[in-house]
Chain A
Amino acid sequence: MKICVCAKQVPDTNEVKIDPVKGTLIRTGVPSILNPDDANALEAALCLKDKYPDTKVYVVSMGPAQADYMLRECLAMGADEAVLLSDRAFGGADTCATSVSIAAGIKKIGDFDIIFGGRQAIDGDTAQVGPQVAHRLGIPVITYVEAIEEVSDKKIRVRRQLEDGYELIETALPCFLTCVKELNTPRYMSVAGIMDAYEKEITVYGREDLALTPEECGLKASPTRVFKSFTPPPKGKGEMLSGTVNEMAAELTDRLRKAHLI
Chain B
Amino acid sequence: MAELRDLSAYHDVWVFAEQREKKLMPVGIELLGEGRKLADAAGCRLCAVICGSDIDDIINELFEYGAEVVYYAQDKRLDQYTTDGYSKVIGDAIDKYKPEIVLLGATHIGRDLGPCLAVNCNTGLTADCTKLEIDPETKQIMQTRPAFGGNLMATIICPEHRPQMSTVRPGVMEKPSKQPGRKGDLIKLDINLADSDIRTKVLEVVKTAKEAVSLTDAEIIVSGGMGLGNAEGFKLLKQLADKLNATVAASRAAVDAGWIDHAYQVGQTGTTVKPKIYFACGISGAIQHIAGMQNSGLIIAINTNEDAPIFDIADIGITGDLYKVIPAIIEELG
To the question of whether A and B form a pair in one complex, the answer is yes
**Interchain CB contact under 8 A, B108 and A227:** no
**Interchain CB contact under 8 A, A223 and B160:** yes
Q: Does B324 contact A (CB under 8 A)?
A: yes
**Contact for B208 among A13, A166, A172, CB less than 8 A:** A166
- Across-interface contacts of B1 in A (CB, < 8 A): 97, 100, 215-216, 220-221
Q: Which of A79-87, A189-197, A246-254 contacts B (4 or more CB under 8 A)?
A: A246-254
In the bound complex, what is the Cα–Cα distance between A230 and B331 (angstroms)? 44
Interface residues of B in 151-201 (CB under 8 A from A): 151-161, 199-201
**Interchain CB contact under 8 A, A124 and B147:** yes
Which residue of chain B has its CB nearest to the CB of A228?
Answer: B155
Interface residues of A in 155-172 (CB under 8 A from B): 157, 160-172
**Contact for B207 among A132, A164, A182, A252, CB less than 8 A:** A164
**Whole-angstrom distance between the Cβ of B212 and the nearest chain A Cβ:** 7
Q: Does B120 contact A (CB under 8 A)?
A: yes
- Across-interface contacts of A231 in B (CB, < 8 A): 151-153
Indicate whether A16 sits within 8 Å of B148 (C-beta atoms), given known contacts A131-B116, A225-B158.
yes
- Across-interface contacts of A89 in B (CB, < 8 A): none
**Interchain CB contact under 8 A, A143 and B317:** no
Q: Which of B44-52, B55-63, B121-129, B221-229 contacts A (4 or more CB under 8 A)?
A: B121-129
**Contact for B119 among A136, A161, A237, CB less than 8 A:** A136
**Whole-angstrom distance between the Cβ of B163 and the nearest chain A Cβ:** 10
- Across-interface contacts of A238 in B (CB, < 8 A): 299, 301, 311, 313-317
**Interchain CB contact under 8 A, B112 and A131:** yes
Which residue of chain B has its CB nearest to the CB of A37?
Answer: B269
Q: How many residues of B contact A (CB 8 A)?
A: 91
Q: Does A53 contact B (CB under 8 A)?
A: no
In the bound complex, what is the Cα–Cα distance between A139 and B295 (angstroms)? 40
**Whole-angstrom distance between the Cβ of B266 and the nearest chain A Cβ:** 13
**Interchain CB contact under 8 A, A239 and B154:** no
**Interchain CB contact under 8 A, A127 and B111:** yes
Q: Does A1 contact B (CB under 8 A)?
A: no
**Contact for B118 among A18, A96, A235, CB less than 8 A:** A96
Indicate whether A25 sits within 8 Å of B148 (C-beta atoms), given known contacts A96-B118, A256-B277.
yes
Indicate whether A140 sits within 8 Å of B142 (C-beta atoms), given known contacts A99-B119, A132-B116, A168-B206.
no
Q: Does A58 contact B (CB under 8 A)?
A: no
- Across-interface contacts of A172 in B (CB, < 8 A): 199
- Across-interface contacts of A227 in B (CB, < 8 A): 142, 155-157
Q: Does A21 contact B (CB under 8 A)?
A: no
**Interchain CB contact under 8 A, B119 and A135:** yes
Q: Does A224 contact B (CB under 8 A)?
A: yes
- 1/0 per position for A113-137, CB-CB distance to B under 8 A? 0000000001111111111100110
Interface residues of B in 263-288 (CB under 8 A from A): 263, 268-269, 271, 276-277, 286-288
- Across-interface contacts of B317 in A (CB, < 8 A): 238-241
In the bound complex, what is the Cα–Cα distance between A127 and B128 (angstroms)? 10
Interface residues of B in 211-237 (CB under 8 A from A): 212-213, 220
Q: How many residues of A contact B (CB 8 A)?
A: 82
In the bound complex, what is the Cα–Cα distance between A251 and B59 (angstroms)? 48
Of the listed residues A182, A232, A234, the one surrounded by the most CB atoms of chain B closer than 10 A to its CB is A232
Indicate whether A96 sits within 8 Å of B125 (C-beta atoms), given known contacts A13-B149, A261-B277.
yes
Q: Does A144 contact B (CB under 8 A)?
A: yes
**Interchain CB contact under 8 A, A232 and B153:** yes
In the bound complex, what is the Cα–Cα distance between A96 and B122 (angstroms)? 8
Of the listed residues A97, A124, A135, A249, the one surrounded by the most CB atoms of chain B closer than 10 A to its CB is A249
- Across-interface contacts of B200 in A (CB, < 8 A): 140, 142, 169-171
Indicate whether A223 sits within 8 Å of B119 (C-beta atoms), given known contacts A228-B154, A248-B320, A256-B277.
no
Indicate whether A241 sits within 8 Å of B316 (C-beta atoms), given known contacts A122-B149, A230-B153.
yes
Pick the 6 closest A-B CB pairs, nearest first.
A223-B124, A13-B149, A249-B328, A224-B124, A223-B161, A165-B207
Chain B residues packing against A (C-beta within 8 Å): 1-2, 83-84, 87, 107-109, 111-112, 114-116, 118-120, 122-128, 142, 146-161, 199-209, 212-213, 220, 244, 256, 262-263, 268-269, 271, 276-277, 286-288, 294, 297-301, 306, 311-321, 324-325, 328-329, 331-333
Apart from A231-B152, A237-B312, what are 5 other A-B pairs with CB-CB below 8 Å?
A: A162-B205, A163-B209, A165-B207, A238-B314, A245-B320
Chain A residues packing against B (C-beta within 8 Å): 11, 13-14, 16-18, 25, 94-97, 99-100, 122-132, 135-136, 140-144, 157, 160-172, 175, 181-182, 215-216, 220-232, 234-235, 237-241, 245-246, 248-250, 252-253, 255-256, 259, 261-262
Q: Can you spell out 17 A-B residue pairs with CB atoms less than 8 angstroms apart?
A: A13-B148, A125-B146, A128-B127, A141-B112, A142-B83, A160-B108, A164-B208, A165-B208, A170-B200, A221-B1, A223-B118, A223-B158, A226-B156, A227-B156, A232-B146, A248-B320, A249-B328
